Amino acid sequence: MSLAIPNGLDNSVEQPGERAPLVLGDTTYHDITEAVCQVAERKPSAGWVFGFLISFALLQWLGICILYLIYTGVGVWGNQSPVFWGWPIVNFVFWVGIGHAGTLISAILFLFRQEWRTSINRAAEAMTIFAVACAGTFPGIHVGRAWLAFWLAPYPSLNLWMWPQFRSPLLWDVFAVSTYGTVSLLFWYMGMVPDLATFRDRSTNKWRRMAYGLLSLGWSGSSRHWMRYEKAYALLAAFAAPLVLSVHTIVSFDFAVSQVPGWHTTIFPPYFVAGAIFSGFAMVLTLMIPARTMLGLEKLITIRHLDNMCKIILATGSIVGLAYGTEFFIAWYGQVQEEKFAFTNRAFGPYWWAYWTMVTCNVISPQLFWFKKLRTTPWIIVLICIFVNIGMWFERFVIVVTSLSRDYLPSAWSYFTPTWVDVSMLIGSFGLFFTLFLLFCRLMPVINMAETKSTLAKQYHMTQHGDH
Amino acid sequence: MSENNEKKVHGVMAEYTSVDTLLDACRRVRDAGYEKTDAFTPFPVHGIDKALGIKPTILPWIVLGAGLTGTATALVMQVWMNAIDYPYIISGKPFISLPAFMPVAFELTVLFSSFGAFFGMWALNGLPKFSNPVFTDPRFDRVTDDRFFLYIDSKDGQFQRADVEKILGDTDTDYVQTVVDDDSSDKVPKPFFMIWGLVVGLSMVPLLIVLKMRVSHSSQPRFHVFYDMDFSPAKGAQQYSTLFRDGRSMRPDVPGTVARGEMQADLDFMTGIDMDALSMIDQPRAERLVRKFNPLYVADAQAEQEATAEAEPQQAGSGDGDEPGGETTSGDAAADSPATDSDANEKAEAEPSVMDTTPWLGKNPLVLTEEVLENGRKNFGIYCSVCHGMNGYGNGLVNVRAQKILAQTWVPPSSLHQDTLYADKYPDGKLFSTISNGIRKMPGYSGQIKARDRWAIVAYVRALQLSQNASIDQIDEGQRESLLQEQAAVKKTIMEQAEAEAAKAKTKTSESEDDAAPEPEKDSAPAPEKDSA
């Protein structure tokens, strides 16, 4: 990670009457192609191999833990009455939240014509899909009999002779997360097809050409194709934008529709969505900052991109902080005994350490981004983002565990303790995530070349007009 | 170019290095009247649809249709599944609760619309299409990098190769090329088919196995990879368990606790013994009985020691105590047992056993109602009649069978209709104790029949005895006359029937043995009328 910004690469300064360039240096279309393709075409670096081996080992460990779980039963987790949701659901909500930044960058920023998204959207979308894969793992194995998880689907079962219960938020969740995963995958793949065609046309190896040829579906860059493609892309963005908001809203319904004190609040949907974007952007930055340096993409993923993302983290982090405050205010203002107890217990009960870790990481640390110096210093950004991710994991832990462990029935109260399987699975899910992400970096175009080139074309256009 | 002359010409294309030169060329070609044209660019070029005259796409309408289909599918699915085919009652909400169906309706709308946009776009674009004449030119590879191409198709109405080459050559380009057929083979390599066929074939195998199992029958239990929840891995009694340190699967009672339904407060009711009287005569035995029925009872250390030493033999002994040795002799149960029993009684008189000294409850503690008798009749029928017979003469099916096969160790069950078993000699409490703890070969039934039902059986047995041995003196004076007449009438008809039977039998087979059947029938003949008493 570079401490200082290389000369000529600081585009975070606003020049009056002029748009800051999003592609830096004297870059041509071909330079963009070269910069992105060399990532996949050159031999893997030692760092990549090292990272991949570690991630892959962790993934294997996750697989072993899942087999152990299926063979033995859910008792291998720390889930015990009354905390039956425990870490699996904490991890699920954490990973789904991480995914949201990708869709936000690719869909909502696209609809708002925020062109700085072009160089980061591909990796962010990939991150979405891998995060959803991690997220989907947990409820899948948390159902107890994982081999019957397909019972969640509404199909005419000869074993059950019954249908799913569509008035349950847990079933809405199944539909929301699976739709989200599917649409994100379509969106990501569709966006990649022109770039896969670039890979195909550049490949010298016959098999490589054939593989990328199949993946790029015979894309020729025809203008008629581009027109329909852009229309389809805009439509998908228009669907993905409300979809991403609906997914975490429905995840929050899992909690809010129940009657557990500390869960039963109407603030959950916006609060969850803000938290999801917050954690997602933190994850994008955590990944992107080392990647841009290691892959040599500083001219495309510029300081301005980092600066903008930090501002979003600051905004969503403040929303999350406000939500924490509002929860406490309503608990006091509502004067419901159980609610008051639930929130006092959160902050000062047996899980006070989790609560204050969460507040420190989520409310205090993003406030540092008010300082421009910190927003434009990559290693500080990474540090703060890691704190944000820790804080957001603890937020879900606090919500799930403190509320469940202190239910209405005091005789059932207990203190949740995770087992080594819980911990292994959380770490293993990072293995899954990073394995997929590192493979993506090697095999797929990490930056949307076509879109970046069209940004560059506009940049040319503007400079020509400026010359008049 | 000349060597390509023989091949089919698809069109002509020209290469440009910037968006502006391309757009300029597009406008010129459009103005020249060419319609079957296309531009190939590395990124979407804005304004090119106008420059080329490309019409807007119908894709949004496809997506609208797909989205509406999604909404309709979701609503119909949810209403059908949750309100019509399998109505769920959830928190008293209406079966068709639209607000609850909205999230899924929204998700499916988005899903279907996205499928519409994704697949609709590829379909309209005619992709995937892996063979395209423009790909024959190696220079075309740069179309996905930094070059722009304009193409005029030979199908265009005014396509003349020379004209097209000229008009393209006049634009800002230094490369004009004719697009011709690809001369490489368009066949898919054979290994692809083999691999594809193998994969498809193998993937059908599990499906076929499942289908076959669905339609065929087998005497073998169903194959389970994972057991369903109807399979319970619970341990049986006396099985070894790794769960507990002592290795037993059955758990002993927790000291100082009573299991639900096991708390026995009324000891007289449970034992059939007048406990107050017993504690006067035999204090240790009374204490043992208290401890047996009330685990919460804490005796002093001395009593406890005694208990461990004697409790077990005592329980067995109380059952065996009055077992008369002569009872084991076999014979016709109904006929012989009175004699042997009287022998036993003589013996018992000689040396009184604990059974005789025990202060038995003389009276059934249950309030005798028709329900109690009915309950007793039911339980007698279930538990007792298999040996003692429905009428109590000891001629139950088990006994009949044992006699038939001459079972060596069989001890015939007693007839209940003998005066030694009547209430005056055999108090209700003693009968209750016999049912509970057993006698001779008869096992105790306290584990199978609840105390209340055992008392009901006692009541029923008394009624049964009465039905066989009541005297006319026990009937109200006013009813005696009619009853005697009725009895005479019944006797008469029975006699007539018997004579008719005998006559028939003689005419049929002169040498027929005495059948056992008519005799008991004669014996039991008076039963109905006396039952009504």
Q: Do A454 and B226 touch (CB under 8 A)?
A: no
* Inter-chain touch B48–A33, beta carbons under 8 Å: no
**Closest of B338, B320, B324 to residue B421, by C-alpha:** B338
* B472 & B416 share domain: yes
The answer on pLDDT for A55 being more than 90 is yes
Same domain, B391 and B454: yes
Return the number of CB contacts < 8 Å for A and B: 194
Same domain, B303 and B388: no
- Give percent of chain A above pLDDT 90: 32
Chain A residues with beta carbon closer than 8 angstroms to that of B98: none
**pLDDT at residue B332 in the model:** 36
For residue A189, the chain B residue with the least C-alpha distance is B118
Is there a single domain that holds both residue B122 and residue B69?
A: yes
For residue B230, being part of any structural domain is answered with no
User: pLDDT band at residue A17, thresholds of 50, 70 and 90?
Assistant: low
Helix (H, G, I), strand (E, B) or coil at A269: helix
Kindly write down the DSSP assignment for every residue of B251-271, as one continuous string.
Answer: PPPPTT---TT-----HHHHH
**Residue B488 in 3-state DSSP?**
helix
Whether residue A166 and residue B41 make contact (CB cut-off 8 A), yes or no, is no
Q: Inter-chain contact A231–B60, Cβ cutoff 8 Å?
A: yes
Identify the sign of the CA torsion B382, B388, B389, B391.
negative
Domain termination site, one of B154, B180, B206: B180
pLDDT given for residue A15 in this prediction? 62
Average predicted confidence (pLDDT) for chain A: 86
Higher-pLDDT residue of B198 and B170 is B198
Q: Is the pLDDT reported for residue B529 higher than 50?
A: no
Q: Which ipTM was obtained for this model? A: 0.89
Q: Residues B285-319: pLDDT tens digits?
A: 888 887 777 666 654 444 455 555 544 444 443 43
Q: Do B410 and B295 share a structural domain?
A: no
- Statement to judge: residues B36 and B168 lie in one domain: yes
Nearest beta carbon to residue A183 from set B111, B128, B141 = B111
Query: pLDDT by residue (tens digit) across B75-116?
Result: 999 999 988 888 888 888 888 888 899 999 999 999 999 999
Using CB atoms, pick whichever of A147, A179, A231 lies closest to residue B57: A231
Give domain status of residue B207, yes or no.
no
Are the beta carbons of A186 and B114 separated by less than 8 Å? yes
| Number of domains into which chain B is organized | 3
Question: Is residue B94 situated within a structural domain?
Answer: yes
Chain B residues with CB under 8 Å of A30 CB are 145-146
For B110, which of A162, A239, A449 is closest by C-beta distance? A239
User: B165 burial class (0-12, 13-18, 19+ CB within 10 angstroms)?
Assistant: middle
Question: Cβ contacts (< 8 Å) between B81 and chain A: which residues?
Answer: 154, 163-164, 166
| Contact (CB<8Å) A171/B104 | yes
CATH class of the structural domain A29-155+164-463:
mainly alpha
B93 touches chain A (CB under 8 A): yes
Residue ranges covered by each domain of chain A: 29-155+164-463
Q: Which has the minimum average pLDDT: A435-439, B160-164, B199-203, B284-288?
A: B160-164
Question: pLDDT tens digits for A312-336?
Answer: 999 999 999 999 999 889 989 988 8
Mean pLDDT across chain B: 77
Give the mean pLDDT of A454-460: 74
Judge if B408 and B299 occupy the same domain.
no
Cα–Cα nearest to B434, from B388, B370, B368? B388
| Per-residue confidence (pLDDT) for residue B285, from 0 to 100 | 81
CA geometry: angle A422, A171, A59, nearest 5 deg: 30
Task: Decide if B194 is inside a domain.
Answer: no
Q: Is the CB of A243 less than 8 angstroms away from the CB of B125?
A: no
Query: What is the Cα–Cα distance from A440 to A434, expressed in whole angstroms?
Result: 9
Same domain, B313 and B375: no
Residue B523 in domain: yes
Q: In terms of residue numbers, what domain contains B30? A: 2-180
Q: Is the peptide bond before A6 cis (omega within 30 degrees of 0)?
A: no
Most B-contacting residue of A28, A119, A223 (CB-CB within 10 A), to test interface: A223
Is B408 in a helix, a strand, or coil? coil
Q: Is B59 in Cβ contact with A231 (below 8 Å)?
A: yes
Q: CATH number of the domain at B521, please.
A: 1.10.760.10
Q: Is B220 a domain residue?
A: no
Which of A218, A451, A457 minimises the CB distance to B128? A218
DSSP of A324-393: HHHHHHHHHHHT-HHHHHHHHHHHHSTTHHHHHHHHIIIIIGGGGGGSHHHHT-HHHHHHHHHHHHHHHH
Q: What percent of chain B has pLDDT over 90?
A: 11
- CA torsion, ordered A338, A339, A344, A346, to nearest 10 deg: 100
Chain B residues close to A224, C-beta within 8 Å: 38, 54, 125
Chain B hits for A176, Cβ within 8 Å? 103, 107
- Report the C-alpha gap between B180 and B135 in whole angstroms: 10
| Contact of B365 with B269, CB cutoff 8 Å | yes
Task: Give yes or no: residues B296 and B418 share one domain.
Answer: no
Contact B19/A at CB under 8 A? yes
Among the partner residues B38, B117, B132, nearest to A218 by beta-carbon distance: B132
Instruction: Determine the distance in angstroms separating the CA of A224 from the nearest CA of chain B, rounded to an integer.
Output: 7
Res B351: pLDDT: 57
Question: Closest approach of chain B CAs to the CA of A223, in angstroms?
Answer: 5
